[in-house]
Structure 1
Amino acid sequence: MLKTRIRYLSRYQDIITALYHYGFGQIVRDLGLLDRTKKRTKKKRAQDSSLSVAKRIRLLLEELGPTFIKLGQLASTRGDLFPAYVLTELENLQDNVPSFAYQEVKDIIEVELEAPLEKLFRSFEPVPLAAASIGQVHRAELPTGEKVVVKVRRPGIERTIETDLAILQDLLELAEERIGWVKRFRLVDLFHEFAEALKEEINYKNEAQNAERIRRQNSETQHLFTPVVYSSHSTMKVLTMTYVDGTKITDATYDKGFNQEIVAERFATGMFEQIFVHGFFHGDPHPGNVFVTKENEIILIDFGMVGRLTTDMRQNLALLVLGLKGRNTDRVMEALFRMDIVHDHVDRDRLWDDLDHLRLKYYDIPMADISLAEAVQDLFNVANKHDCIVPVDLTMLGKALLSVEAIVSSLAPTLRIIDIVEPFGRVLIKERYDPLNFAKKVQAEFQEGMETLRYFPRDMRKTLKDIRGGKLKVNISIREIHHLIQKVDRISNKLAFSIVLLSFSIIMAGVIIGGSLTAEPTILLQIPAIEIGLVITSLMFFWIIWAIFRSGRF
């Protein structure tokens, strides 16, 4: 416990020092972070003030290490939340970390695979091909002769990430209390989302499963391949895959013997098939993760980040694309509602106006010149303006589309992305309205309804039991209570007025009728109680009238 506390305090010192160094000392003061350290924080010399805020954010994340670099890379997918100039810098985040020693690599592999390195591999290069914040990659050869790459997780990275995430959560919760804009950007919710993604990424078993799934779904896809994962040589900390002998896609140019048009078309088609047909796609297809063989075949690597789209989401996405192409505001708005991007309390008129303004932006531009990724990103920005939460997989989709369009435009500027996407959209729309699929959906909804009906008596009994036990909770806002009280006051005052008026009328009618039935004075009329009652009733009547009108709730 003491070691953990010391580690946390030491890390707090590092974070505070880095914040001051890159010109974010005001955040330290606003959060009161200096009170959390036992000794005075040593301030490093401030960075050049001429650097932009975005560049200083990138340098800060790089200095703070693996956790912050990975969170920054994940944040670069959220174009719906952060401005473009920040996203551009975040995309340039580099893992400026040295490689770790070969002996450590050897020890990790032997512990994980429970065998000596010499028996596991025929050859193993001690110098890594690349080193990153999470791990590093070595070339090797299996005893059966296959050339492979072995990714080994950095020692101690799990504990480092655990410490950083705990401190980040603490800081963000503190920031929500003290800094207004933090809550507006929902940074705590965003942090939890990123933290889960990071925990998945450092577990190489997840990456192996992602790679295998994409490889299986691409088995019938021509010209796009993924490396084979060797499960016998893979664990949470070690991942062994086929070695990829290829050229980075942005370097696959005509002068190097590649056909740029074919490469761009095959890459885009393969990615859109993953997105629109299978609904499971590579979440980070930047040039460093896409290679090309001499035969113009595409090979994807690094499957730590993937996106998932349900059938309904893909069909609604197709509606969205068709709405954008047809410049139909109503269809675009309908697609946003069906995708659960827009919540029930949104001002629909204002949302429609913003979407129509977006339609006018693209009105005079030929469809071939419209960037699908930019159009989708504009839609997400509109949704964010109305405090709508865009699902994680859709933001990852937007990021993937941006990467695909950037690569295609650099290789084949004349290739029209919309022409490649449109056939997939038509297939999805056809699937949506296919009678057989419609019947299956109705059957599924009917079964769900029958399940609800089946458990209705049990749920009703539980609700009644809660009511009897006083456990039923009803949430009413203060504003709603105020309106409710006003309505009850008006109703009760009108009811009281009516009752008093009715009783007064009955008494008066009785006196008049009684006097008219006989010419002789009766005992009833001779009793002074009637006069007294009339006086009291009249006084009560006028007092209630005065009280009601004075309250202003009549």
Structure 2
Amino acid sequence: MVSWLETFRDLHRLREIGGILFRHGLGHVAQRLHLPGIWRWRRQPDPAVLPFSLAQRVRMIFEELGPTFVKFGQILSIRRDVLPLEYIEEFEKLQDAVPPVPFADVERIIYEEFGRSVKEVFKEFVSEPLASASIAQAHLARTQTDRQVIVKVQRPQIRQIILQDAAIMDHMARLLTRHIPEIRLYNPLGLVEEFRKSILQELDFRREGRNADRLRSHLQEITGIAIPLVYWEYTTPRVLTIEYVVGRGLREVLDQPSAERHRIAANLYQAFLKQIFEDGFFHGDPHPGNLLFMPNGTVYLLDFGIVGRVSRERLAGLGSMFMAIIDQDVEMLLDECVALGLMPADVNRQALQHELDELLAEYLELPLREISLGQILETLFALGRKHRLKVPANLVLLGKTLLTVEGVIRTLDPAFALVDEAHWEVERLVRSRLSPEVFLKSGWRTTRQLYHFAQRLPHRLERTLQHLEEGRVRVELMPGTEAHVLRQWELMWNRAIRGAVVCALIIGSSLLLQARIGPLLGGLSLAGLLGYVLALLLGLPVLRSLGRWEDSAEP
């Protein structure tokens, strides 16, 4: 829970947010959130923004709120499993270009990181930045060994700014959850927490350098793909130094012969299929601005702040799922979707199978060059969202990455048969996982896991029994089962109380009959006889319910 002290500290920022919401025609949201200073902003929205859609106005609000909210919007643009398409399309337009910081700040950060001045660390350093973004700006430089490099320097105080804005976002998410119940479907608290973790990781530039090294090692056997070198002696948490590469953009290579463009497209597609289906570690933001094309046809991948990871189990499932899509095997596709968590296990299989049949028929009847694996995956995410299932974030990023790469491929070669190319590549990768070497390695890993499990089992059993004896075992009920358990508990106590009353009546009536307490009827106590009748009337329903329980308990 956010304290009132923290809210007071951020009062100015919250008032600013309230004013921006009112200006963009969302004053009712600010009022429902009870933002401070609402009375100051009770006015009509800016008429200039009213013609824009709600999604467009939300994007404009993020832009006005500054770099942290722009980065948040960019992260949200990946979450196609959560947000409607019109918001995704608007958030994809967000650009985090900002004015550069003074060179004196750059010099100070480099001195704080290396303990030496810029002139001592680098042989040459251009003071004018090549580019400036919300987190860092890039400068051209030359190392002491005469290597031309790009130096990415973090903006001053950016970590504190992001932490403060993230705390305000968290507070806003809690207000949204509390005061606007209909927005809980989008899990605002979870989205803010995901953003906070992602952005804090991005602030450590060494992580980006390690991502580049790992991708380079995975792709070294792929023809025509390259990753810039990282100069670790010039890299710290706030400074990243990489190889300077001069090349052309995507639009500038479209004048190449069609055969050359097809070769470039094939190499690029093969590289990403390998990253996803074989390595389980892939570049998560391959838009045209992060691709550099060399005169010899080599493609350099740039910017490794966003990467995706897929576990070994999900890799096997993804390969099988795409093979099922290509082979139009609906039954296998449904099984893999459930295994991957894209569909709930208790889903109506018959209804969903009909939907998947229609999906495959819609896509696979198209010409091969028009079929998109990324689009099919996005449609599967939409089906999962329809069934209120939360798709894992790494799979959502995978879907967006595939869509982006396929867009680049189609720009290079509109006739490129994506599914046909993927079929052979995925089949090869799936087949490689069935090799004797992989089976041996997998079997050895499973044997070790079983051995360690067997070693720990006696201790775990002993600890569980001890907790049972001490009464320290807690039973947690699945959501939705509490009411059922309470009903059963109430029914059980009703039966127990009724049974106790019946027993008391039988015992009391027997004593009355034995003592011949009057009035008498045929020598028998009338009160005792009435007690037996009452016991019979109360006891029969209990006996019938016990009989039904025994019948239902039989196998």
TM-score, normalised on structure 1? 0.86
Match of 1:542 among 529, 537, 540: 537
Distance 1:256-1:359 versus aligned 2 partners, 3 A rule: closer
Shift of 1:137: 0.5
User: 8 Å contact 1:21–1:47 — kept in the other structure?
Assistant: no
Instruction: Give the counterpart letter for 2:282 in structure 1.
Output: F
Question: What's 1:21 paired with?
Answer: 23
Structure 1 distance, partners of 2:178, 2:97, is 34
Q: Which range moves more in the overlay, 165-174 or 458-467?
A: 458-467
Instruction: Give the counterpart letter for 2:272 in structure 1.
Output: M
Match of 2:484 among 480, 484, 497: 480
Q: Map residues 416-435 of structure 1 onto 2, 5 A cutoff.
A: 416-435=417-436
Q: Which range moves more in the overlay, 61-70 or 448-457?
A: 448-457
Shift of 1:463: 2.7
Distance 1:495-1:365 versus aligned 2 partners, 3 A rule: farther
Question: What's 1:511 paired with?
Answer: none
Instruction: Report Cα offsets for 1:209-236 as digits up to 9, x if no partner.
Output: 1111112222222211111111111111
User: 8 Å contact 1:308–1:393 — kept in the other structure?
Assistant: yes
Structure 2 distance, partners of 1:367, 1:493, is 72
Structure 2 distance, partners of 1:425, 1:134, is 37
Distance 1:9-1:144 versus aligned 2 partners, 3 A rule: same
User: 8 Å contact 1:333–1:352 — kept in the other structure?
Assistant: yes
Shift of 1:23: 2.1
Q: Which range moves more in the overlay, 181-190 or 441-450?
A: 441-450
Structure 2 gaps of 5+ residues are: 511-520, 550-555
Identical-pair percentage: 29
The higher relative CO (CA closer than 8 Å, separation ≥ 6) is in 1
Partner-residue secondary structure (3-state), 2:375? helix
Instruction: Give the counterpart letter for 2:20 in structure 1.
Output: A
Instruction: Report Cα offsets for 1:48-98 as digits up to 9, x if no partner.
Output: 211122222222112211211111111111112222222122111112411
Shift of 1:529: 5.2
Question: What's 1:251 paired with?
Answer: 252
Distance 1:41-1:113 versus aligned 2 partners, 3 A rule: farther
Partner-residue secondary structure (3-state), 2:56? helix
Q: Rg larger in 1 or in 2?
A: 1
Q: Map residues 3-402 of structure 1 onto 2, 5 A cutoff.
A: 8-34=10-36, 40=40, 45=46, 47-254=48-255, 259-362=260-363, 364-402=365-403
Structure 2 distance, partners of 1:462, 1:193, is 36
Structure 2 distance, partners of 1:14, 1:418, is 49
Instruction: Give the counterpart letter for 2:247 in structure 1.
Output: G
User: 8 Å contact 1:276–1:424 — kept in the other structure?
Assistant: no
Q: CA RMSD in A?
A: 3.6
Partner-residue secondary structure (3-state), 2:366? coil
User: 8 Å contact 2:506–2:532 — kept in the other structure?
Assistant: no
Structure 2 distance, partners of 1:74, 1:258, is 36
Partner-residue secondary structure (3-state), 2:36? helix
Instruction: Report Cα offsets for 1:287-329 as digits up to 9, x if no partner.
Output: 0000001111100111000011222222211111111112222
Structure 2 distance, partners of 1:371, 1:546, is 64
Structure 2 distance, partners of 1:546, 1:268, is 72
Instruction: Give the counterpart letter for 1:282 in structure 2.
Output: H
Instruction: Report Cα offsets for 1:20-49 as digits up to 9, x if no partner.
Output: 2222222111111136x8x84597845421
Structure 2 distance, partners of 1:256, 1:231, is 39
Instruction: Report Cα offsets for 1:435-492 as digits up to 9, x if no partner.
Output: 5434543443344344334333332333333333333222343332145247647976
User: 8 Å contact 2:364–2:371 — kept in the other structure?
Assistant: no
Instruction: Give the counterpart letter for 2:417 in structure 1.
Output: R
Distance 1:260-1:134 versus aligned 2 partners, 3 A rule: same
Q: Which range moves more in the overlay, 490-499 or 533-542?
A: 490-499
Shift of 1:190: 2.0
Instruction: Report Cα offsets for 1:404-432 as digits up to 9, x if no partner.
Output: 11111112100111232222311232244
User: 8 Å contact 1:62–1:93 — kept in the other structure?
Assistant: yes
Partner-residue secondary structure (3-state), 1:365? coil
Partner-residue secondary structure (3-state), 2:228? coil
TM-score, normalised on structure 2? 0.86
Structure 1 gaps of 5+ residues are: 507-525
- Residues matched between the structures, number: 533
Shift of 1:400: 0.8
Q: Which range moves more in the overlay, 212-221 or 354-363?
A: 354-363
User: 8 Å contact 1:77–1:395 — kept in the other structure?
Assistant: yes
Instruction: Give the counterpart letter for 1:103 in structure 2.
Output: A
Shift of 1:389: 1.9
Shift of 1:208: 0.9
Structure 1 distance, partners of 2:369, 2:23, is 47
User: 8 Å contact 2:290–2:303 — kept in the other structure?
Assistant: yes
